[in-house]
Structure 1
C-alpha cells in the first residue's frame, strides 16, 4: 500500500472509535492526536496503538463516553480525573489547562488520575514550546516491565518523560522512556518479525533477551542502571502517587487485562518563559547553544551531533505532502480491526 494521507488515517481511526461507542467529537480528537504522532515519526505510539485501544473498549476496561473533569484547582495547579476514557482526552485537557494557568501565574502544573495510555508524551509538550513556553510531561507506564535495581519483580513501568522548549529550526523536544528501549519499539519488532538488540532486556537469570516475542520472560533495563531506576521511581511518585493514581503493584497491564480500569497517572506542566525574561533572549541563547552542540567534532564513524526534536517538523511536512507510510504488518493489523468492527478497510477509505 502506498503512503496514505493523514486525513484518510484520521477518518479510519475516527470510524473505529465511533463504532465502539465513542462520541464523534471525542473520536475525532483522539484520532487526530494518534495520526499526529505518526506525522511526527513517533510510529510506535500512533496508529500502532489502535489495537490496544480497541481491545480495551471492547473489553469494557475503557469508558467510551468519558467526561474528564477537574477535581481540585488553584491558581497554578489542577488535578483532573480522566473518567477512565481514552487517555488522549484527559491529557489534551491537561495540556490546555496548564498553558492557561502559566499565562496567568507563570507556571501551570496539572496532574491526572483515572486516565489511560495517551500516546507519546511529546504531543503534550510541543504546544507549550510553540507558544513560547517550556513544556514538561511524564506518566506512569501502562504496564510494569521493569524490576527495581537489583531485584527481579516487575514493579515499574517505562515511565516516560518529555521536555520541550522553543528552539531555532525546530522546538527542542526530549521524549524518552526511563528504560533503554520503550515497550512500543519491542512490540513493533515483534509485529515485524525482527530481533531486538542485546542490552534492551534480560531474563530473570540475568542473561540477555533478543527475541521480542519472549519479552514476558524477562524485564526491561533502566537507562543508566540505578539512575534510571531512581528516575522511574521519582516519576511514579509525581505522576502516580501525588495524583492518587496507580503505581507499583497497583498498575494494571492495559494490554493483557482489557476489563480493569488502569487508573493511569500523568502530569503536564507549562512554564511561561516571559515570567523569567524575554522570550527572544531565551531563543537566541538556546540557538547559540544548539549551534555549539552541532559543531562538536563527531567521533569516528558517527554522524554529527543532532538536537533532540530536530527534523520532526520537516518530517511532519513531508508526511502531510506525501502521505504516511505504514509497515505491511501494521496495515494487516488495521485490516483485521476493520473486519472485526465491520468498517471499510484503509484501502477502501
Structure 2
C-alpha cells in the first residue's frame, strides 16, 4: 500500500486498513483491544453506510477522552440490578460501544427467556450510530428499540436555550431480506450533519438552528462553534420552531428519550452530562422476542409483504422512488464495501493529526483492495 498522509485531498480507503488504524489509535491511548475492535466496527459501519458524521470523523473524541482519563479504557460493564426481564447496567465510564453492545446482547438473551426485556445503561459514553445495535438484534431474530441521550444541543418547544440532546431513536426488526432499520435524531438535524455540510462546503437550511436571540441562524461555523461552546445556540426538534409544523411533537419524542435515558435509567439527563469526571450518558434498550407473538418466520414474511407494498405505492415524484428506512444505508454499505470508503480532506487531516499526536503510522492511501 502506498503511504501518504493525504492531507490535501480526499482519500478512498478499504475497510481493513481503516479498521487497523482505528484499533491501533484506541489501543495506543489505553483502550482494551477487544473494546477497540468493537468501537472501530461501529464507527466504520457508519462510514460504510454513508453516515459520515458518525464514522471515523468522531475518533478524536474517543482518543482525547481516553488520553485525559474522562473515558475509562479498562472499563467492564456489569449488571447492577435485575428484576424479571429488566436489567440495569453500569458502563463504568467506558467506551459507549462495548457497553451498549453488552446491554443489547443481554436484552436479546433475556427477551428469549421472558418474551420481552428492557436494559438501562448508566455511566456510559457516546455510542456511534444507534442503528448498528438494533440491526444486530434484528439479525438475531428480535425486534429492538434503542435510544441514548447526549450533550444538550436541542431547544424544546418554547425554550430559548438547549436542554435536550439530539437523542437518536432506532428500531429494527427482521424481514426475509435485509432487516428493516430506522435510525434518526429527534432534532431536525444532528450537529454531525452540520459538520459534514461544512466539510463539504454546502449550506444549511433556515429553520434548523437558532442563535442565542432565538432567531434562525444559517451560519454553520458559528452554529457549530456555539453548540460546542454552549453559547446559547440550539438545534430545533423534528418539526422545527414552535408548533405550526409539529415542533412540539418532535420535542415530546425528545423528552421521551431523555426520560428513558436519564431519570428512569439512573444516569444524568442531557443538560447535566459531560462533567469533569466524564459523560454519565444513559442508554435504553427494549427487545421483543418475535416468537412470543407467534411464528417468527410468519411475522418476518408479513413485514416483508408490508414493506413491498409500501415500496410499490404510487410515488409523488416519478423520479424519486418510495424509500423505506435503512435502504439507502444498506445500498451505500454494499457499494463502499466493494469500492472503498471515501474520506474528505478535513477528516484525513484530523486522522493525520491524531496519528502524529499519539505516535502511530498515519493512514495510507488505498491499495486497491477494499
TMscore range, shorter length: over 0.9
Q: 2:110 aligns with which of 98, 101, 104?
A: 101
- Measured in 1, the distance between the counterparts of 2:81 and 2:255 equals 24
Map of 1:297 onto structure 2: 314
Pair 1:267-2:284 in alignment? yes
> Contact 2:31/2:66 (CA < 8 Å) preserved in 1?
no
Pair 1:83-2:95 in alignment? no
- Measured in 2, the distance between the counterparts of 1:230 and 1:10 equals 38
What CA deviation, in whole Å up to 9, does each residue of 1:300-335 have, x standing for no partner?
A: 465121110114334323322222111121111111
Pair 1:154-2:176 in alignment? no
Closer, same or farther in 2 for the Cα pair 1:196/1:280, shift >3 Å?
Answer: same
> Contact 1:339/1:345 (CA < 8 Å) preserved in 2?
yes
Map of 1:19 onto structure 2: 28
Closer, same or farther in 2 for the Cα pair 1:264/1:248, shift >3 Å?
Answer: closer
Alignment of 1:138-287 (within 5 A): 138-141=147-150, 143-215=151-223, 216=226, 218-224=233-239, 225-252=247-274, 259-287=276-304
- Measured in 1, the distance between the counterparts of 2:147 and 2:319 equals 31
- Measured in 2, the distance between the counterparts of 1:23 and 1:223 equals 37
Map of 2:63 onto structure 1: 54
> Contact 1:161/1:177 (CA < 8 Å) preserved in 2?
yes
Map of 2:244 onto structure 1: none
- Deviation at 1:260? 3.2
Unaligned 5+ segments in structure 1 are none
Map of 2:340 onto structure 1: 323
> Contact 1:169/1:310 (CA < 8 Å) preserved in 2?
no
Q: Partner of 1:38: helix, strand, or coil?
A: helix
What CA deviation, in whole Å up to 9, does each residue of 1:37-62 have, x standing for no partner?
A: 22222221121110111122222211
Pair 1:3-2:12 in alignment? yes
- Measured in 1, the distance between the counterparts of 2:126 and 2:31 equals 16
- Deviation at 1:161? 0.3
Closer, same or farther in 2 for the Cα pair 1:11/1:307, shift >3 Å?
Answer: same
What CA deviation, in whole Å up to 9, does each residue of 1:170-222 have, x standing for no partner?
A: 21111011111011111222344432122211223332211221111521110
- Measured in 1, the distance between the counterparts of 2:198 and 2:333 equals 26
Q: Partner of 2:54: helix, strand, or coil?
A: coil
What CA deviation, in whole Å up to 9, does each residue of 1:7-59 have, x standing for no partner?
A: 11111011111110112222222112221222222221121110111122222
- Measured in 2, the distance between the counterparts of 1:171 and 1:286 equals 10
- Measured in 1, the distance between the counterparts of 2:173 and 2:222 equals 38
> Contact 2:162/2:235 (CA < 8 Å) preserved in 1?
no
> Contact 1:222/1:228 (CA < 8 Å) preserved in 2?
yes
Q: 2:349 aligns with which of 328, 332, 346?
A: 332
* More moved, 39-48 vs 263-272: 39-48
- Measured in 2, the distance between the counterparts of 1:74 and 1:204 equals 45
Q: Partner of 1:72: helix, strand, or coil?
A: strand
Closer, same or farther in 2 for the Cα pair 1:317/1:302, shift >3 Å?
Answer: closer
> Contact 1:296/1:304 (CA < 8 Å) preserved in 2?
no
Normalising by structure 1, we get a TM-score of 0.93
Normalising by structure 2, we get a TM-score of 0.88
* More moved, 270-279 vs 217-226: 217-226
> Contact 1:171/1:310 (CA < 8 Å) preserved in 2?
no
- Deviation at 1:131? 1.8
Closer, same or farther in 2 for the Cα pair 1:314/1:188, shift >3 Å?
Answer: closer
What CA deviation, in whole Å up to 9, does each residue of 1:221-268 have, x standing for no partner?
A: 10130111111111111111111101153122xxxx7x4311000012
